[in-house]
Amino acid sequence: MADPEEVLARLVGDALGAAFGPDYARADPLIRPSQFADFQANVALSLGKRLHRAPRDVAAELAGQLAATGVLGNVEVSGPGFVNLTLRYDWVAAQATDLLHDPRLGVPLAEPGQKVVVDYSGPNVAKELHVGHLRPTVVGDAIVRVLEFLGYEVIRAAHLGDWGTQFGMLIEHAQDIGEQATYDQLAGGEFTAFYQAARAKFAADHAFADRARRRVVELQAGDARALSLWQLLVGYSMEYLRKLYARLGITLTDADMAPESFYNPMLASVCTELEQAGIAVISDGALCVFPPGFTGRSGKPQPLMLRKSDGGYGYDSTDLAAIRYRLVELGVSRIIYVVGSEQSQHLQMVFAAARMAGWLTDAASAEHAVIGLMTGPGGQRLQTRSGDQIKLISVIDEAVERAEEVIKDRYDEPEERRRIADAVGIGALKYGDLSVARDSSYALDFDRLLGLTGNTGPYLQYATARIRSIFHRAGEDPDQAAGPIVATEGAERALALRLLGFGAAVRGVAASAEPHSLAAFLFDVASSFTTFYEQCPVLQAPEPAIRQSRLALSALTLRVLIAGLGLLGIPVPDRM
Ligand code: ARG
């Protein structure tokens, strides 16, 4: 299947070889989208230096070699040495027809056998997901879906915070109020109240605090009673997470939970290994790794704490054990941490330590897919009136309620209205996250997210519904559309050319762990479709062959939109 940029890169490479000799065939032809043509090759500018010739002359010679193949309709030198490339109408149309018959829509499979861990969502036991969890969850899930579609073996990992000193006070509190009351609160989702009550007691009541501290020691030593109370908390949290992920359409299951406690049995050996290798040293009674180049606020070298002076293990220890396990035991070639920007230094230190230890080699990569902050509509901090974090579930509920408000006049049947409001509200919320660069900060503004025009989830969902309704009116099935696609009008050609870029868009997401580029691509597709539909009558086309071609082009657009939205995890209602 022909991705235009790839085809052009090959053509220009061959032409460079023919014009300047085989050494030059491998130069990057620097194919870029162009304002004046479909694409432009910028290679003549850099080649000019290498050949000691004026770039415009180099460009002219290259253009001469490229002229009039079956692919290119027009080749033109412009500016200081750009070569503008315009594809032939019939080539574009033939490629689009091929795409229509390709079940993978031009998305190639990656080489088999590559394992990738995606560490995302970052939930914690006995705490509710708050609005800050939305982006690492939604972005991570889109990355996972794309990698899987490309054929990577993906290991989802929600690094569930289920271990640590706070569990002493939580268990003790559960014990105090009894199992029934614990169940009532936690199964009802009142994690925050439960957590805050435990913390308040811990702060105010010395005897309780002492019991809580003893309880942690017991828990970490494997005491049966402590473990069973802890298990209770973990179980309720899993139940809650399951429901929430299902509501949001997130593909994480119980089996994808990579709880911190899972790494417990590995912590001692991580310490020994790093200590014996001379990488970890005792500092103030604690076992630390000081990766070079990282300093704290005071400018002093910043450690990763492997084992605290009281013998306890913490967040740093677990992350080191996790990265060793993933690289050494699972043998993955890539780990993507979809985590907030505030943990940047922590993760870079973990990567540096893993490299010092020899776990992370050139054969693998560990990367932080940075997630920026979500703010209120005016850029202010998102918090409740009392200063607490806003629960994720209340944001989801609000999105769906507002969506219902937007669409309510169109549906009489309450069941259908609710179903579509759900898809529109959740789709709008998720798409909002995916339509901006993941590392930028971004304002939660429901009015904008729910807009039926502009780069929004509802606009894209609506584009699919509109195409379905064309087929409905035609009495035809989009799955049966066979083409051939012919491009006679500029708007047809532009849409077809756009659709040929799907494979590149999907691969781009995998390479950069950045789903936002796919969202931008889908928005361009929907916009090109709108222009096409305004300019080219489909059902009233002048000739049967053109009608058939335009229906096929519409069907292809529908398929690309549905596949693309699916990869982003955006629900697509069949009517809107
Ligand atoms: N649970 C953590 C938090 O709430 C996020 C975990 C991120 N992943 C990791 N491997 N550290 O901050």
Does 164 sit in the ligand 1 pocket, CB within 6 Å? Answer: no
Percent of the chain exceeding pLDDT 90 equals 76
Among 118, 120, 124, name the best residue to mutate to test ligand 1's pocket (greatest count of ligand atoms within 8 A of Cβ). Answer: 124
Q: How many other CB atoms sit within 10 Å of the CB of residue 376?
A: 14
Percent of the chain exceeding pLDDT 70 equals 100
pLDDT at 221: 85
Among 119, 124, 135, 159, name the best residue to mutate to test ligand 1's pocket (greatest count of ligand atoms within 8 A of Cβ). Answer: 159
* pLDDT band (50, 70, 90) for residue 291: very high
The average pLDDT across 540-566 equals 96
Closest CA to 367 of 117, 45, 190: 117
Nearest CA to ligand 1 atom 3: 122
Looking up tokens 């997470």 gives: 241
The neighbouring-strand residues paired with 72 are 87
pLDDT at 190 over 90: no
508-550 pLDDT, tens digit each:
999 999 999 999 999 999 999 999 999 999 999 999 999 999 9
Q: How many other CB atoms sit within 10 Å of the CB of residue 462?
A: 17
Does 422 sit in the ligand 1 pocket, CB within 6 Å? Answer: no
For residue 159, the CA-to-ligand 1 centroid distance in Å is 6
pLDDT at 294: 95
pLDDT at 6 over 70: yes
* pLDDT band (50, 70, 90) for residue 185: confident
Q: How does the average pLDDT of the chain come out, rounded?
A: 93
Does 122 sit in the ligand 1 pocket, CB within 6 Å? Answer: yes
* pLDDT band (50, 70, 90) for residue 498: very high
pLDDT at 386 over 80: no
For residue 44, the CA-to-ligand 1 centroid distance in Å is 47
The average pLDDT across 175-196 equals 86
pLDDT at 68 over 80: no
pLDDT at 1 over 70: no
* pLDDT band (50, 70, 90) for residue 136: very high
Report how far residue 171's alpha carbon sits from residue 435's, in angstroms, rounded to the nearest whole number.
Answer: 41
435-446 pLDDT, tens digit each:
999 999 989 999
The average pLDDT across 101-109 equals 94
Closest CA to 350 of 398, 411, 304: 304
For residue 489, the CA-to-ligand 1 centroid distance in Å is 52
Q: CA-CA-CA-CA torsion for 54, 58, 63, 65, nearest 10 degrees?
A: 150
Ligand 1: which atom is nearest the Cα of residue 347?
A: 11
For residue 71, the CA-to-ligand 1 centroid distance in Å is 50
Does 162 sit in the ligand 1 pocket, CB within 6 Å? Answer: no
Does 433 sit in the ligand 1 pocket, CB within 6 Å? Answer: no
The average pLDDT across 424-447 equals 95
Nearest CA to ligand 1 atom 4: 122
Ligand 1: which atom is nearest the Cα of residue 161?
A: 1
pLDDT at 430 over 60: yes
Nearest CA to ligand 1 atom 11: 319
pTM, entire model: 0.94
For residue 228, the CA-to-ligand 1 centroid distance in Å is 24
The stretches of 249-314 forming alpha helices (DSSP H) are 264-276
- Least confidently predicted of 3-7, 387-391, 424-428: 387-391
Instruction: Read off φ and ψ for residue 72, nearest 5 degrees.
Output: -95, 130
pLDDT at 59: 93
| Distances, alpha carbon 401 to alpha carbons 17, 425, 555, 569, in Å | 61, 7, 32, 20
